Amino acid sequence: MVWNDKYNESFKMLKVKLFEKPVLHAPDFSKPFILRTDASDQGYVVVLTQKDDKEHTILFFIKKFTAAVRKYSTTEKECAAILYTIKELKRYIDGQTGFYIHTDHKRLIPLKINAGSNG
């Protein structure tokens, strides 16, 4: 992995978020969740948030990819991160009328259109 501007900006944002008070908020199951994922060659990071007047962090974690997944293309890794996150956070999103997924990977944006049009 080569440390670049993208990782530097993400790291800066994470440092700012970690020092905000309070760092984590309790989930409100009457409001939709926002799943934010980002994958790298080695693993992925997840931030679960909800929005009131501003976005509040509910939880965050980092997971390492298996050796098999590390062989995937970038798009496949980004998609795997989303799928693994949905599975990992099932207890939060089960029963929700909806939730949002935010990714910075442009090739996955059409999934939003397909998911919305297929109900």
- Tens-digit pLDDT profile for residues 9-20: 888 888 787 777
Instruction: Tell me the pLDDT band of 21, cut-offs 50, 70 and 90.
Output: low
Q: How many CB atoms lie within 10 A of CB 46?
A: 19
Average pLDDT, the chain: 84
Q: pTM for this one? A: 0.71
Name the residue with higher pLDDT: 28 or 115: 28
pLDDT of residue 1: 63
Tokens 């949002």 map to which residue? 100
**Which strand ranges, in their side-by-side order, compose the sheet holding 99-102?**
55-64, 43-51, 33-39, 99-102
Tokens 């993208």 map to which residue? 6
